[in-house]
């Protein structure tokens, strides 16, 4: 007999293997036990939670006085989820009434307790629930958590929570500070947070604070350009018309093509492109021209010759956008496209055909 | 002479024993790592965070690209399921890769396609696009017709025809859950470094499907499908989740993955190989490392893509052969990355693991089985040791597979019926009694045929009860 048994004591090897088999078998039994218990007990709790939530959702209609107060954790949890759902979809009047219920039944206190808990998964869930309630009264608590919380994942939820209840310039500054410390969050996340801030500030009649923050950002050399772009993008998305002036000044002040693209998009959304339309259409960078030409119709009949010229641009995207925009100039645009469709330039001809066939007039 | 044979036998046994410990030890560690990661992921990807994406500007538009070659039985159901996706802004581009059956006619009938004379900008290499169609009923559904060039070629054409900054590749025989795209695209808006994300692929066989939606989730009926269901669960949840944790995810399934278009264009799109999905991800890693770009390739466990798995042994062996050839091809073409610190954990850990365990694994396993039998017949192995070792191997294997099923049930609870879960666990346990050995042999043969092509696929019609439908050859 030769093999492993030659170099390891066969008796010892036998004992080791037998022990391993015992441990494996025990582990296997434990696994099956967890599997069955999970199926039978934990899923029953979840079904109960779902039933309760549906029950609360059904009862969360006026008059709210008939609502039974929650007592156990699972009832608080079910009521919290139901309230968050209703607040998200309700009108502003309903939202205020539902927020009062959150306060009346101390659902916010329940989640604030959880948001101070040891498990980060619980804290994250609690912070998300508090964000959903968007209670202005939670603002001091959220700010306190932002200053104490160490976990980045919970912090990002806390930033969202603060953005939904922001009421002053100081909140906006805190949000910006937190976004700078949050590492690799995307531009979309920043934009989302700033859009929330604008809406909250608007609700508190402090819209001007955001314009002020944009002015400070412009003056702040240390602030990263991408974050400034996200602030501007959010202003465009949230329809902050008061920011047109400062955004136009960002456009002129910047040598960065991406910043010009952002400003154009924001001003396009705010219908404030008028003054800079022509220079944008003649920009050296094709990305700027491609965006400018999309909003070309805002420049009125004066901009049409420049848009038409863009049908022959060296860049494919500029030409394509120009074709689509020409259709937005109505009968004159259509007529110009017909001329191009008969013209000598094969690129312009191709785009003109496409725009006339695929794009509805005044799209 | 006898001493030399003795040394060889001891060395052989130690090598096989060591390989066994490393392989199963890795799977076990992966299971524990995955358990932690999945729990953390579930906490952050809550329903509320998904609602945020659907409610405002907090999303990035996605082009869904579906390459289709002779998919007459599945293409309409698949397209319908994609149209039902919950996502604020997306387009579906079905690329008819020169089908010789009625794939296009089916699409034209179902979605009222009209020709679109849009000039296309060709950036990637692919066979010529002959026609472009748009659905009259659904403004976000396009069909690209081109001459046949293979899956990678069709995907490249789809990328060229797409409009959005992210694209999602989906197999024509797969169904996505309504929130799958939301969940798979979420990492791109949460983290600017994410360049690719892959979702969980589950086995469709046995489920009840209506109008392109999985209505009831059941375990497959056939044993061979059940084993694959357990295998998929383990492979995706334990394997990919753990690779994610080590920043070395090398595969995003071709059945369902989301990518940043600019980077895919930068690496030249898909390469025409049978393992085009893995090849693309490895080249993305390579490109980002070589250009010092901060990046992440992530696996997201909840977005579910349902796919049909082979229900007969022949198709299964063909599929695994294809996967293995793809793996060998990709590893060979990126061999310069092996053990190279320039490519971080991918070069130092991911690729060497895939080469030693996944590529050479079948050879080692096969030699192990064969050697064990020979040594046993020559009476050079202690029968008691052999028996005990076999019991350890089987128990450990069962533990790994059952742990995968448990992991799935702890977090996602897709299979509502306890009988289904137990059935999957049972069949998962049987994987080590013949199934694994058969696949090892097939993969070993494929190692020497890695230059050959795709071969024919068999498809089942996606209808009410997929598991009960008779197979239809394409």
Which of A1, A128, A189 is facing B382, going by the closest CB pair? A1
Q: Is A196 helix (H, G, I), strand (E, B) or coil?
A: helix
Interchain CB distance below 8 Å, A31 and B406: yes
Domain extents in chain B: 22-357+453-473
Q: Which helix (H) or strand (E) holds B168?
A: strand B166-170
**Count of CB atoms within 10 A of residue B395's CB?**
20
**CB contact set of A115 (below 8 Å; sequence gap of 6+):** A123, A126, A127, A130, A141, A145
Of the candidates B103, B69, B39, the residue with the CA atom closest to the CA atom of residue B302? B39
> How far is the alpha carbon of A94 from chain B, nearest alpha carbon, in Å?
18
Burial of A110 (0-12, 13-18, 19+ CB in 10 A): buried
Task: List all residues of chain A from 47 to 76 with a beta carbon under 8 Å from chain B.
Answer: none
Answer whether B187's CB lies under 8 Å from B197's CB.
yes
| Contact with chain B for residue A3, Cβ under 8 A | yes
pLDDT in tens, chain B (474 residues): 557 777 888 888 888 888 888 888 999 999 999 888 887 777 777 766 667 766 666 788 999 999 999 988 889 988 988 998 989 899 999 999 999 999 999 999 999 898 887 778 889 999 999 999 988 888 899 999 999 999 999 999 999 999 999 999 999 888 898 889 999 998 898 888 999 999 989 999 999 888 778 888 899 999 999 999 999 988 888 888 899 888 899 999 888 999 999 999 999 999 988 889 999 999 999 999 999 999 999 998 887 899 889 999 999 999 999 899 999 999 999 999 999 999 999 999 999 999 988 889 888 888 888 888 888 888 777 778 888 888 888 888 888 888 888 888 877 878 888 889 889 988 888 887 888 889 988 988 888 776 665 555 455 555 544 433 333 332
Query: What DSSP element (H or E) covers B196?
Result: strand B194-203
Least confident of A9-18, A264-273, B146-155: A9-18
DSSP state of B338: T
Cα B2 to Cα B433: distance, rounded to the nearest angstrom:
34
According to the model, what pLDDT value does residue A316 have? 85
Which residue in A43, A188, A353 is closest to B189 by CB distance?
A: A188
User: Is B332 in contact with B229 (CB distance < 8 Å)?
Assistant: no
Nearest-angstrom CA–CA distance, B226 and A60: 44
| Chain B residues with beta carbon closer than 8 angstroms to that of A28 | 395, 398-399, 402
User: Are B189 and B199 in contact, with CB atoms under 8 Å apart?
Assistant: no
Contact B451, B196 (CB under 8 A): no
Chain B positions in Cβ-Cβ contact with residue A125 (cut-off 8 Å): 43, 46
Contact yes or no for B380 and A192 at CB 8 A: no
**Total residues belonging to chain A:** 363
Token duo for residue B230? 């357990």
Write out the two tokens for B306: 């349902």
Distance from CA of A149 to the nearest CA of B (A): 16
3-state SS of B52-113?
A: HHHHCCCCCCEEEEEEECCCCCCHHHHHHHHHCCCCCCEEEEEEEECCCCCHHHHHHHHHCE
Total beta-carbon pairs less than 8 A apart between chain A and chain B: 156
Of the listed ranges A93-107, A137-151, B316-330, B460-474, the one predicted with least confidence: B460-474
Long-range CB pairs of B289-293 (<8 Å, 24+ gap) are B289/B342, B289/B343, B289/B344, B289/B346, B289/B347, B290/B342
3-state secondary structure A306-323: HHHHHCCCCCHHHHHHHH
Rg (chain A; Cα; Å): 30
| Cβ contact, residue pair B384, A32, below 8 Å | no
Nearest CA to B45 among A73, A142, A156? Answer: A156
Paired residues of A286 in beta bridges: none
Sign of the dihedral through C-alpha B314, B318, B320, B321: positive
Q: Tell me: pLDDT of A234 over 90.
A: yes
Q: Which residue in B221, B249, B214 sits closest to B235, CA to CA? A: B249
Q: In whole angstroms, how far apart are CA B228 and each of A360, B75, B358, B429?
A: 50, 23, 17, 12
Q: Is the pLDDT of residue A74 over 60?
A: yes
Q: What are the CA-CA distances from residue B90 to residues B59, B77, B152, B166 (Å)?
A: 10, 18, 22, 10
In this complex, do B43 and A187 lie within 8 Å of one another by their Cβ atoms? no
**Residue of B413, B430, B410, B353 lying closest to B27 (CA atoms):** B353
Q: Are B34 and B64 in contact (CB under 8 A)?
A: no
Answer for the pair B50, B182: CB distance below 8 angstroms, yes or no: yes
Residue B131, classed as helix, strand or coil, is strand
A357/B117 Cβ within 8 A: yes
CB-side exposure of B46: number of CA atoms within 13 Å?
A: 20
Tokens 């070792």 correspond to what residue? Answer: B389
Three-state helix/strand/coil letters over A123-165: HHHHHHHHHHHCCHHHHHHHHHHHHHCCCHHHHHHHHHHHHHH
How many C-beta atoms surround the C-beta of residue B464 within 10 A? 14
Contact across the interface for B188 and A18, Cβ inside 8 Å? no
Closest by alpha carbon to B104, among B62, B147, B153, B61?
A: B147
CB count in 10 Å sphere of residue A361: 12
Count CA atoms closer than 13 A to B326's CA, side-chain side. 27
Any chain B CB within 8 A of the CB of A125?
yes
A27-36's contacts with Cβ under 8 Å and 24+ in sequence apart are A27/B399, A28/B395, A28/B398, A28/B399, A28/B402, A31/B399, A31/B402, A31/B403, A31/B406, A32/B402, A32/B425, A34/B406, A34/B410, A35/B402, A35/B405, A35/B406, A35/B409, A35/B421, A35/B422, A35/B425, A36/B418
Distance (Å, rounded) from C-alpha B138 to C-alpha B141?
6
Distance linking the first and last C-alpha atoms of chain B: 58
CB A247 within 8 A of CB A267: yes
Q: Residues B168, B228: contact at Cβ < 8 Å?
A: no
When CB atoms are compared, the residue of B44, B60, B422 closest to A153 is: B44
In order, the DSSP letters of A268-318 are HHTT--GGGHHHHHT-SSHHHHHHHHHTGGGGGGGGHHHHHHHTT-SSHHH
- Give the CA angle between residues B105, B108, B109 to the nearest 5°: 85
CB contact under 8 A, A153 and B410: no
A143-157, A271-285, B67-81, B321-335: segment of lowest average pLDDT: A271-285
Tokens 């076999």 sit on residue: B390
Decide if B57 and A6 are in contact by the 8 Å CB cutoff: no
Give the pair of three-digit tokens for residue B364: 């080692």
The pLDDT score that the predictor gives to residue B432 is 79
d(CA B362, CA A351): 55
Would you tell me which residues 289-328 of chain A have a C-beta closer than 8 angstroms to some C-beta of chain B? 316-317, 320
Assigned CATH for B22-357+453-473: 3.90.550.10
Residue A40: CB atoms within 10 A of its CB come to 10
- How far apart, in Å, are the Cα atoms of B447 and each of B121, B152, B362? 39, 21, 9
R_g of chain B computed on alpha carbons:
23
How far apart CA B388 and CA B392 sit, in angstroms, is 6
Asked whether the beta carbons of residue B402 and residue A28 sit closer than 8 angstroms, the reply is: yes
- With an 8 Å Cβ cutoff, is A363 touching chain B? no
Please state the rounded mean pLDDT for residues A314-341.
Answer: 87
B281 contacts B251 by C-beta, under 8 angstroms: yes
Within the 152-191 window of chain A, which residues sit less than 8 Å (CB to CB) from chain B? Answer: 153, 156, 160, 184-189, 191
Contacts of A5 in chain B (CB under 8 A): 382, 385
Contact assignment for B392 to A21 by CB distance below 8 Å: yes
Degrees (nearest 5) of the Cα angle B244, B246, B248? 70
User: Is residue B261 within 8 Å of B162, Cβ to Cβ?
Assistant: yes
Q: Are A132 and A99 in contact (CB under 8 A)?
A: no
- Pairing, β B166-170 against β B62-68: parallel
In order of B82, B200, B204, B213, B309, the CA distances from B460 in angstroms are 18, 21, 11, 16, 10
CB contact under 8 A, B39 and A21: no
């Amino acid at each position: 007999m030769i093999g492993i048994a030659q170099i390891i004591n066969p008796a010892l090897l036998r004992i080791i293997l037998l022990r391993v088999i015992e441990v494996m078998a025990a582990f296997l039994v434990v696994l099956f036990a967890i599997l069955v218990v999970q199926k039978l007990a934990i899923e029953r709790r979840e079904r109960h939670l779902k039933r309760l939530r549906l029950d609360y959702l059904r009862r969360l209609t006026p008059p709210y006085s008939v609502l039974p107060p929650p007592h156990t954790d699972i009832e608080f949890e079910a009521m919290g989820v139901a309230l968050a759902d209703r607040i998200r979809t309700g009108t502003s009047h309903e939202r205020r009434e539902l927020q009062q219920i959150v306060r009346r039944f101390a659902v916010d206190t329940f989640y604030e307790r959880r948001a101070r808990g040891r498990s980060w998964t619980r804290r994250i869930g609690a912070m998300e629930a508090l964000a959903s309630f968007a209670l202005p009264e939670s603002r001091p608590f959220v700010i306190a958590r932002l200053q104490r919380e160490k976990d980045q994942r919970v912090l990002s939820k806390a930033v969202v929570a603060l953005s939904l209840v922001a009421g002053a310039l100081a909140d906006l500054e805190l949000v910006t500070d937190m976004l700078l410390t949050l590492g690799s969050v995307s531009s979309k996340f920043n934009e989302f947070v700033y859009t929330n801030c604008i809406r909250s500030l608007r609700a508190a009649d402090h819209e001007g604070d955001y314009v002020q923050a944009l002015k400070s950002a412009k003056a702040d050399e240390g602030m990263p350009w991408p974050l400034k772009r996200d602030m501007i993008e959010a202003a465009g998305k949230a329809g902050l018309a008061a920011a047109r002036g400062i955004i136009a000044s960002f456009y002129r002040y910047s040598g960065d093509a991406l910043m010009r693209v952002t400003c154009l998009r924001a001003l396009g959304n705010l219908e404030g492109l008028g003054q800079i339309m022509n220079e944008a259409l003649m920009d050296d960078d094709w990305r700027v021209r491609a965006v400018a030409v999309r909003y070309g119709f805002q420049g009125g009949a004066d901009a049409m010759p420049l848009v038409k010229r863009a049908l022959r641009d060296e860049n494919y995207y500029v030409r394509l956008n120009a074709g689509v925009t020409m259709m937005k100039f109505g009968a004159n645009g259509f007529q110009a496209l017909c001329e191009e469709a008969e013209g000598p330039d094969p690129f312009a001809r191709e785009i003109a055909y496409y725009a006339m066939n695929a794009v509805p007039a005044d799209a | 002479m006898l001493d030399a044979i003795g040394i060889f036998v001891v060395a052989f046994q130690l090598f096989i024993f060591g390989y066994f410990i490393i392989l199963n030890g890795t799977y076990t560690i992966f299971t524990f790592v995955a358990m932690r990661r999945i729990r953390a992921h579930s906490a952050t990807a809550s329903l509320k965070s998904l609602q945020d994406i659907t409610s405002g500007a907090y999303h990035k538009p996605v082009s869904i690209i579906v390459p289709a070659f002779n998919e007459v039985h599945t293409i309409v159901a698949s397209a319908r399921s994609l149209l039902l996706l919950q996502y604020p802004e997306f387009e579906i581009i079905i690329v008819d890769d020169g089908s010789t059956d009625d794939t296009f006619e089916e699409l034209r009938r179902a979605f009222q396609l009209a020709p679109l004379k849009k000039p296309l900008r060709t950036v990637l290499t692919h066979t010529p696009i002959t026609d472009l169609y748009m659905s009259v009923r659904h403004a976000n559904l396009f069909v690209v017709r081109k001459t046949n060039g293979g899956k990678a070629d069709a995907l490249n054409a789809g990328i060229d025809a797409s409009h959005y900054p992210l694209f999602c590749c989906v197999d024509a025989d797969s169904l996505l859950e309504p929130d799958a795209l939301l969940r798979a695209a979420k990492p791109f808006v949460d983290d600017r470094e994410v360049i690719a994300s892959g979702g969980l692929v589950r086995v469709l066989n046995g489920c009840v499907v209506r109008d392109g939606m999985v209505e009831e989730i059941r375990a497959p009926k056939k044993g061979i499908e059940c084993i694959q269901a357990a295998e998929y669960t383990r492979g995706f949840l334990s394997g990919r989740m753990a690779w994610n944790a080590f920043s070395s995810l090398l595969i995003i399934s071709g059945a369902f993955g989301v990518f940043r278009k600019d980077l895919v264009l930068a690496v030249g799109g898909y390469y025409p190989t049978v393992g085009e999905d893995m090849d693309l991800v490895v080249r993305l890693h390579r490109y980002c490392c070589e250009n010092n770009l901060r990046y992440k390739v992530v696996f997201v466990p909840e977005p579910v893509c349902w796919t049909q798995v082979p229900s007969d042994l022949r198709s299964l062996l063909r599929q695994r052969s294809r996967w293995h050839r793809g793996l060998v091809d990709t590893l060979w073409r990126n061999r310069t990355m092996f053990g190279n610190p320039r490519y971080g954990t991918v070069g130092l850990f991911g690729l060497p693991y895939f080469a030693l365990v996944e590529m050479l694994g079948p050879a080692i396993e096969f030699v192990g089985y064969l050697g064990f039998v020979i040594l046993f017949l020559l009476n050079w192995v202690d029968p008691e040791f052999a028996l005990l070792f076999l019991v350890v191997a089987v128990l450990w294997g069962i533990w790994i597979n059952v742990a995968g099923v448990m992991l799935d049930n702890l977090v996602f609870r897709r299979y509502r019926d306890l009988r289904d879960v137990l059935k999957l666990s049972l069949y998962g346990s049987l994987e080590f009694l013949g199934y694994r050995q058969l696949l090892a042999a097939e993969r070993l043969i494929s190692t020497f045929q890695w230059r050959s092509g795709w071969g024919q696929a068999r498809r089942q019609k996606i209808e009410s009860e997929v598991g009960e439908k008779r197979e239809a050859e394409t």
